[in-house]
């Protein structure tokens, strides 16, 4: 597959790029400093700013899937969504958009998203609220082929185990009461979804 990864130089984006390349996909890494990434077979890099709509749509052209791994704060969802739609329209098809999500919009108890609970860390609140807004914008899209993958509460570099659970809208908690996933395992779940769409026009989550 041809996969464009926006934010490919970031914490999550680098692991998504590694996972996709390891599986033999052709990856276009996009970020303002993408050209700083080391050269590898199957990898093309292109420096781009998300605030350049025409260039963004052009950069997405020819890819089966676009994965966005940008921070949500100060990032208008419309820029990415409209660029993906423009790309699909120009090609006469529907380019898929997969979004690296946040955990804040997951439900910890029925009807309560964790970002709205008093214990939610203040340092992550603005980013989590912006992530929820992004998800809500996707839900309002009539035709876009989108998927939003929320990590568990802790998303940190770690091991690539391949052993994890998938869920829908509820926060996953392991047997020790912890909600976590390594970025490496998160990347497996995301590239699995890119290869085999199982959560079209839905949010899902991954955790131990
Ligand atoms: N548990 C959780 O809920 C949790 C935990 C961690 C992360 N996350 C989510 O995961 C996502 C990715 O986070 P991360 O930690 O990987 O972020 P990050 O390391 O800050 O990476 C952000 C990426 O976006 C690129 N970027 C920033 N501004 C850009 C612009 N104007 N145009 C083009 N590219 C731009 C950066 O590269 P350049 O600077 O080169 O442009 C970089 O590649 C976020 O949505 C975050 O909310 C969720």
Residue 98 binned pLDDT confidence (cut-offs 50, 70, 90): very high
Task: Give per-residue pLDDT as tens, 21-54.
Answer: 999 999 999 999 999 999 999 999 999 999 998 9
Query: pLDDT (tens digit, 9 = 90+) per residue, 141-179?
Result: 998 999 999 999 999 999 999 999 999 999 999 999 999
The residue whose CA is least distant from atom 13 of ligand 1 is 71
Does the beta carbon of 191 lie inside 6 Å of ligand 1? no
Mean pLDDT of the chain: 96
Q: How far, in Å, is the centroid of ligand 1 from the Cα of 98? A: 14
Which residue minimizes the CA distance to atom 4 of ligand 1?
Answer: 102
Residue in 52, 61, 62 with CA at minimum distance from that of residue 31 = 52
The continuous run of DSSP H or E covering 47 comes out as strand 43-47
Domains along the sequence of the chain with CATH:
2-207 (3.40.50.720)
Atom 48, ligand 1: which residue's CA is nearest?
102
């Amino acid at each position: 597959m041809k996969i464009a990864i926006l934010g490919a130089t970031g914490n999550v984006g680098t692991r998504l790029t590694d996972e996709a390349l390891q599986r033999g996909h052709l990856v276009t890494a996009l970020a303002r400093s993408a050209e700083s990434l080391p050269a590898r077979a199957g990898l093309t890099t292109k420096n781009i700013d998300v605030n350049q709509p025409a260039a963004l749509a052009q950069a997405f052209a020819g890819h089966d899937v676009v994965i966005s791994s940008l921070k949500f704060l100060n990032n208008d969802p419309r820029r990415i969504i409209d660029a993906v739609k423009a790309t699909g329209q120009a090609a006469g098809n529907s380019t898929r958009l997969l979004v690296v999500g946040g955990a804040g919009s997951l439900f910890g108890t029925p009807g309560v998203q964790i970002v709205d609970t008093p214990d939610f860390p203040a340092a992550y609140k603005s980013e989590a609220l912006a992530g929820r807004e992004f998800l809500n914008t996707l839900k309002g899209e009539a035709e876009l082929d989108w998927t939003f993958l929320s990590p568990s509460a802790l998303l940190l570099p770690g091991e690539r185990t391949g052993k994890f659970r998938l869920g829908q809208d509820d926060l996953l908690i392991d047997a020790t009461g912890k909600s976590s996933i390594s970025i490496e395992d998160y990347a497996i779940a995301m590239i699995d979804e890119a290869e085999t769409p199982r959560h079209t026009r839905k949010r899902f989550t991954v955790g131990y």
